Structure 1
Amino acid sequence: MDLTVCICTHNRPRYVQDCLDGLRRQTVARDRFTVLLVDSASGEAAAAELGSLAAAHDARLIRLDHVGVSLARNAGAWAARTRFIAYIDDDAIPATDWVESILNAIAQPGRPPALIGGRILPKWEAPLPAWWPPSLRGVLSIIEHEGRGEYRTPAVPQGLEPYAANMVVHVLSLLAAGGFGGAVGRYGNSLLSDEEVQLAWTLQDAGHSVRYDSRIVVHHQIQARRMEPSWLLSRMYWQGASTVLTRRLLHQPQTVWRELPRRLLVAGLLAPAALIPEHTAFLLAARWRFAYAAGFIRAALGWHVTEAAIEQAAVAVAA
């Protein structure tokens, strides 16, 4: 067995079905890779359906009692029995040569990779609205750049970051770095983010090769419910908070304090736009900037972001 493929999910068996079907169509033999399905505290009905899917697709099923994507990904890493683990989101469908491209990338001569981020192309459930800001396609977990190279170097575009919707990690390096930090990342339906960014930069700062390779492709099913102004505003609010938390986890608190005055200025100037109803796209450019600044400011000034995400997830489960 050359590779472990890990799918982490919470209450989404329909998407898992599509992902597993994609893995069944790979160009390499099934004995070249194994599949781990990590169920992050799904409800009873979804858990039963996930169990049936795992059995039908020869996937090993791991059940967790608590929600949290970082917890689930770490459980996958501890269960892996291969040198590398490939993470794919439950709503992503791998290209037919996905596993083959991963195996080729990790086998190429030269400096061995600790982490490889791949290309993530959109598969729209609903058309992208005309009002959607072009600069924010990335918050939908879309990466369309073609090329290869080390992150945070001139070889790839500035600001390009890995997403765990399509990411390969050297297992021992991941575990030695402490895994995915439980302080960041999704908890249920909360929009806390950046757990993969924290891991990637931790590995790179420790001297490991952390690179991008667009030959490794998945197709991300972009949910129709995300095509709403209210979702984008919530996503940007949590992203502002996630940025603060990630910088502190990477031991860069000074960058938070340097940026805080600018975020305070933005929030002050754009505060009237926040009075506009969430469902409308009117003045959205001002409103998403205000949302990001508000999340950043609140987290910088002491908001317990992780606890809020966990509480939000618990309320959703109880409902």
Structure 2
Amino acid sequence: MISIVICTYNRAEILADTLKSFLACERAGIDHEVLVVDNNSQDNTREVVQQFIDRDPTIGYLQESMQGLSHARNRGIRCATGKIIAFVDDDVYFSPNWLTELEETFGDPEVACMGGKSIPLFEDGKPPWLTEDILPVYGSTRSGEASKLMQYPEHPFGLNMAFRREVFETVGLFNPKLGRIGKNLLSNEESELFWRIHRAGLKVAYNPNAIIYHRIPKERATPEWVLRRYYWQGRSEAVMDRIVLGQSRLQILSKLTDKFVTTLRPTLKGVSWTHPKRSYWQLAAMPLSRKISWYYLAGYLQQVFTGILSIRN
């Protein structure tokens, strides 16, 4: 049995498209279930899921009252009946052979986890300013076209990953200190889980033929959204460094100093400090790639100096 867990929050219309896409997958002969975990949605998510349950009994509905993606995923793990537990986001389209590729990958008994290829699908077209190095914030795995074993820190992305149930029995569940909560962009819950999987010596496979298309609405395809995402990535790194990895204040201060120096040096190069107005416009016109570094650093600083646990507020 393969259990597919889809966590959702206030995106009923998008979720409906995701479920329609799954029903079009090749599923004959594969024992499976789909569990939609509703994380306190205020829209008509429950009614939408019930319409699909009426059409297909392999679909089920769960509710998780603890707010946060990690809580929702953990609820899915506890309620899943499959020996394989897969996770996808609520805003994706499945390739027709996604489920069969998943089953084939776990035909190798040594594979404990797997990730497939995730391709961003920009609903308003890919913006011209968007460079390849930024694509991972939109879920692009960029892991290549060949099957392989992934070596940490490379790991699957949360919108297209799967595990044998024993993995969670060995390393534990998702860490609720990390992962999105409501509309914030806190992350790194997957990195932290795969860090534990790496320490346990478990094998993680990559299958480029298990493809998921990640829908990107036009409101996310903006430089402002990218900068906000990197700001939250900085906060996420600070939480992981202090709480999860247990780094000391001295280690964090040293890392912060290194990041500040490496960010500051290219920014200040070539700025006309003798002409304040010109220097202002030069800084304002810095490329997005450089602004990203500053927003990441700002998030890291914010989390360090306001207190790690304040993230819950």
TM interval, shorter chain, is 0.7 to 0.9
List aligned pairs for 1:53-72, cutoff 5 A.
Answer: 53-58=52-57, 59-72=59-72
For residue 292 of structure 2, what is the aligned residue in structure 1?
Answer: 288
1:246 aligns with 2:240: yes
- Cα distance in 2 for residues equivalent to 1:8 and 1:40: 7
- Cα distance in 1 for residues equivalent to 2:106 and 2:285: 44
Residues 18-76 of structure 1 deviation map (CA, whole Å, 9 limit, x = unaligned): 22112212223276211111001100533333333444343110012232111111111
The answer to whether the 8 Å contact 1:123/1:219 transfers is yes
> Structure 1 residue 301: deviation in Å?
4.0
The answer to whether the 8 Å contact 2:9/2:182 transfers is yes
- Cα distance in 2 for residues equivalent to 1:85 and 1:66: 21
The answer to whether the 8 Å contact 1:239/1:295 transfers is yes
Residues 71-119 of structure 1 deviation map (CA, whole Å, 9 limit, x = unaligned): 111111001111110111111111111110011100125x2x2221110
SS of the equivalent of 2:128 reads: coil
For residue 156 of structure 1, what is the aligned residue in structure 2?
Answer: none
Structure-2-length-normalised TM-score: 0.85
SS of the equivalent of 2:184 reads: coil
Structure-1-length-normalised TM-score: 0.84
| Distance of aligned partners of 1:283 and 1:29 in 2 relative to their CA distance in 1, 3 Å threshold | same
Q: How many residues align?
A: 296
For residue 149 of structure 2, what is the aligned residue in structure 1?
Answer: 150
Residues 195-237 of structure 1 deviation map (CA, whole Å, 9 limit, x = unaligned): 1111112111111112322121111111211111211111001
For residue 198 of structure 1, what is the aligned residue in structure 2?
Answer: 192
- Cα distance in 2 for residues equivalent to 1:9 and 1:28: 23
- Cα distance in 1 for residues equivalent to 2:99 and 2:215: 19
For residue 211 of structure 2, what is the aligned residue in structure 1?
Answer: 217
Residue identity in the other structure for 2:102: I
The answer to whether the 8 Å contact 1:26/1:96 transfers is yes
Q: Which segments of 5 or more consecutive residues in structure 2 lack a partner in the other structure?
A: 272-279
Residue identity in the other structure for 1:261: T
RMSD over equivalenced CA pairs, Å: 2.5
For residue 77 of structure 1, what is the aligned residue in structure 2?
Answer: 77
SS of the equivalent of 2:93 reads: strand
List aligned pairs for 1:72-111, cutoff 5 A.
Answer: 72-108=72-108, 111=110
Select between 119-128 and 74-83 the one with higher mean Cα deviation. Answer: 119-128
For residue 298 of structure 1, what is the aligned residue in structure 2?
Answer: 302
> Structure 1 residue 296: deviation in Å?
1.9
SS of the equivalent of 1:225 reads: coil
- Cα distance in 1 for residues equivalent to 2:137 and 2:264: 24
> Structure 1 residue 161: deviation in Å?
3.1
The answer to whether the 8 Å contact 2:238/2:308 transfers is no
Kindly name which structure, 1 or 2, has the bigger radius of gyration based on alpha carbons. 2
2:133 to 95, 113, 135: 135
Q: Which segments of 5 or more consecutive residues in structure 1 lack a partner in the other structure?
A: 154-158, 312-319
Select between 49-58 and 64-73 the one with higher mean Cα deviation. Answer: 49-58
Residue identity in the other structure for 1:171: R
SS of the equivalent of 1:253 reads: coil
Select between 261-270 and 208-217 the one with higher mean Cα deviation. Answer: 261-270
- Cα distance in 2 for residues equivalent to 1:257 and 1:133: 31
- Cα distance in 2 for residues equivalent to 1:6 and 1:114: 17
- Cα distance in 2 for residues equivalent to 1:301 and 1:98: 44
| Distance of aligned partners of 1:196 and 1:281 in 2 relative to their CA distance in 1, 3 Å threshold | farther
- Cα distance in 2 for residues equivalent to 1:205 and 1:257: 26
